């Protein structure tokens, strides 16, 4: 009997099909897609694609001049996966799947599992081998595995790589920094400022720059705008070698209708729900993933694990979670279908999140998953075993909205809106929160952070410093979008770099200095992060001084050593005779003063240490006297 030659490791087996059909093939990306291999003594590429509704599928590409006479793929049952080995093909070659539908139409589709894509405006996939990179971040990965996210400092710099900085360029060039250039330049800047993490927007391949990467066509491909997959690996490795954590934006909520993408992939709804009331976002013009289908859930879960595993990414920030949880999100009556119980909860999406987060946390490697969730859905960061969704953190959108509404007000009206700044403490420990001032708040006529502030230019800067101080003192991890740290004047646009020239002006340089001081303070003092999930770490001194619009509170460490007292004045009125209540008869050392010359203040000489005096103030037995300047902020260690 003739010996049957073994198929290469990447070829689809019956077990692969079974696991994929069950939604539990967490490394399906190693089977579907395009893989360099050797078969029957010849080197080439093995292609596999899931297209159960297709009448037939061929691989076409630059190797056959994109003709329709490509390599016919063989269908595997029962899932309708098509496969073929093409000898002679090499890394980098461009290809697509030519899908013949049951109606007789022909569709040219990019590979949903491609590791690399042609640079836009091209839409082809490229063969890529991502297994050859030598990582140098063992120390980081080992340290991360023992990381307690809740009790660790986490200050995130949110970056859109294509518009952080750009090279001077001709009209027909983008001027993008590549991944390797970004690695060096961003690392230098992040370390100078004191951020602990970077969050990267728009990494998964997408056709339209104006979507900022939130309409994805290549879920397994780092965008070719900035280089190759190996370049991207180099960047992550470089960040880790310099102790910078990496978070990627991840978009499992929806995908675009582009002809080469996932929409109607094999002539019918495959990745999206077939009923438009479940499968389309009317406001966004995009398709919604079909979370009922196990293969679709598997595609998304494997994709999340792919970024965390193959690219050593430290966390995923899940975009538009609310749109997944609610069947009626952004829809009018008649545009949505209730669940089987008559409610608006998307039960399949809930199950998807619980499954996904259980797998991610079950790995025990310290990786995070963060929800951008804008509603009061309960238990977003609660353990799945306790009935929660299982996310590591949740963006605190409620705090952000109240904070910005307050900060926009003329100081005269702030006394009537004092609760906007205090309300978040009523629910601060219901979830594990990240306080965010993200890209969404500085686009589309929302104004830059600086231009949200009231008053003349000097007032705007002083207001923003006071606001940032409140943010860094408030419980919760921190996120600032690029440009916010030096008070970018224009709204953000993906089409141009940040206005770095502003740093030649004193006001903007002073703002950058002040934010750097806040970031350094945040990392230095454990009281600002290790009890973010407990009332043991926070005490209001005066939450009710609405008439003067002054807030004061204490942040405590676990050991009650090196605690910090925050005082913030949100009016242009000086308070030379200001007294603040304090909980202990101790010495209070001034560690941050917004009135310092290096931050654009008056530079007035002040004492460095203040003795608490006995006397009732702010319901405390002791007080400290401190001359509080207009829009002044002060932080004391005790």
- Which residues are the active-site residues? 319, 372
With left for phi above 0 and alpha for psi between -120 and 50, is residue 416 left, alpha or beta?
A: alpha
Residues 434, 437, 443, 448: what is their CA dihedral angle, to the nearest 10 degrees?
A: 180
Most distant pair of Cα atoms in the chain: their distance: 100
Distance CA 175, CA 243 (A): 28
Residue 88: both structure tokens together: 């002679």
Asked if residues 182 and 226 have their Cβ atoms less than 8 Å apart, the reply is yes
Asked if residues 239 and 286 have their Cβ atoms less than 8 Å apart, the reply is no
Backbone φ, ψ for residue 157 (5° rounding)? -100, 110
Distance CA 367, CA 245 (A): 10
Query: How do beta strands 477-481 and 155-159 pair?
Result: parallel
CB pairs under 8 A, 24+ apart, for 362-366?
363/308, 364/145, 365/141, 365/144, 365/145, 365/308, 366/144, 366/145, 366/146, 366/147, 366/149, 366/314
Is 521 in a helix, a strand, or coil?
helix
Distance CA 13, CA 271 (A): 22
Distance CA 39, CA 367 (A): 37
Closest CA to 441 of 505, 372, 496: 372
Look-up of token digits 């995070």: 368
With left for phi above 0 and alpha for psi between -120 and 50, is residue 80 left, alpha or beta?
A: left
Is 318 in a helix, a strand, or coil?
strand
Give 532's contacts (C-beta < 8 A, 6+ positions apart).
150, 151, 432, 433, 475, 476, 477
Quickly list DSSP for 412-436. Answer: HHHGGGTHHHHGGGGSTTSS-EEEE
Closest CA to 404 of 441, 352, 360: 441
């Amino acid at each position: 009997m003739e010996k049957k030659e073994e198929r290469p490791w990447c070829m689809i087996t019956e077990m692969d099909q079974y696991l994929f059909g069950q939604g539990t093939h967490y490394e399906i990306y190693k089977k579907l897609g395009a893989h360099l291999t050797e078969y029957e003594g010849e080197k080439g590429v093995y292609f596999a694609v899931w297209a159960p509704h297709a009448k037939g599928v061929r691989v076409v590409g630059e190797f056959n001049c994109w003709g329709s006479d490509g390599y016919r793929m063989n269908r595997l049952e029962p899932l309708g996966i098509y496969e073929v080995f093409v000898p002679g093909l090499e890394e980098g070659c461009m290809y697509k799947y030519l899908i013949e539908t049951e109606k007789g139409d022909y569709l040219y589709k990019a590979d949903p599992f491609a590791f690399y894509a042609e640079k836009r405006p091209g839409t082809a996939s490229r063969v890529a081998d991502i297994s050859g990179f030598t990582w140098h971040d063992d120390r980081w990965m080992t340290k991360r595995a023992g990381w307690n996210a809740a009790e660790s400092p986490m200050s995130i710099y949110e970056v859109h790589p294509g518009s952080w900085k750009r090279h001077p360029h001709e009209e027909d060039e983008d001027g993008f920094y590549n991944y390797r250039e970004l690695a060096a330049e961003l690392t230098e800047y992040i370390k100078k400022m004191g951020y602990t993490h970077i969050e990267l927007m728009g990494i998964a391949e997408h056709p339209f720059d104006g979507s900022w990467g939130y309409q994805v066509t290549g879920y397994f491909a780092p965008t070719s705008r900035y280089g190759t997959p190996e370049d991207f690996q180099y960047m992550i490795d470089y960040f880790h070698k310099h102790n910078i954590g990496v978070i990627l934006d991840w978009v499992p909520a929806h995908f675009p209708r582009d002809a080469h993408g996932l929409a109607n992939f094999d002539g019918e709804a495959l990745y999206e729900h077939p009923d438009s009331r479940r499968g389309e976002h009317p406001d966004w013009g995009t398709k919604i993933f079909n979370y009922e289908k196990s293969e679709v859930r598997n595609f998304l879960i494997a994709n999340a694990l792919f970024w965390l595993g193959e690219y050593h990414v430290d966390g995923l920030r899940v975009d538009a979670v609310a749109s997944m949880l609610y069947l009626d999100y952004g829809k009018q009556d008649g545009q949505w279908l209730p669940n089987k119980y008559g409610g608006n909860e998307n039960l399949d999406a809930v199950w998807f999140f619980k499954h996904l987060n259980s797998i991610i946390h079950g790995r025990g490697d310290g990786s995070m998953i963060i929800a951008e969730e804008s509603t009061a859905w309960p238990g977003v960061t609660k353990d799945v075993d306790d009935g929660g969704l299982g996310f590591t953190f949740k963006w605190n959108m409620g705090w952000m909205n109240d904070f910005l509404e307050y900060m926009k007000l003329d100081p005269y009206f702030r006394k009537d809106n004092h609760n906007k700044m205090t309300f978040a403490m009523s629910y601060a420990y219901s979830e594990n929160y990240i306080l965010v001032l993200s890209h969404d708040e500085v686009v589309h006529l929302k104004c830059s952070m600086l231009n949200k502030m009231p008053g003349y230019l000097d007032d705007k800067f002083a207001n923003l410093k006071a606001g940032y101080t409140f943010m860094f003192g408030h419980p919760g991890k921190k996120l600032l979008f690029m440009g916010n740290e030096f008070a970018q004047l224009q709204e953000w646009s993906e089409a141009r770099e940040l206005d770095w020239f502003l740093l030649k002006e004193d006001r903007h340089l002073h703002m950058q200095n002040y934010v750097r001081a806040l970031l350094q303070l945040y990392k230095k003092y454990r009281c600002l992060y290790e009890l973010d999930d407990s009332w043991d770490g926070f005490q209001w001194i005066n939450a009710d001084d609405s008439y003067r619009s002054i807030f004061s509170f204490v942040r405590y460490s676990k050991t009650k050593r090196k605690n910090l007292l925050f005082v913030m004045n949100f009016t242009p009125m000086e308070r030379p005779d200001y007294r603040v209540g304090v909980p202990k008869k101790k010495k209070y050392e001034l560690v941050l003063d917004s009135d310092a010359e290096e931050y654009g203040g008056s530079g007035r000489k002040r004492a460095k240490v203040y003795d608490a005096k006995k006397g009732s103030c702010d319901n405390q037995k002791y007080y400290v006297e401190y001359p509080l300047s207009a829009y002044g902020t002060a932080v004391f260690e005790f």
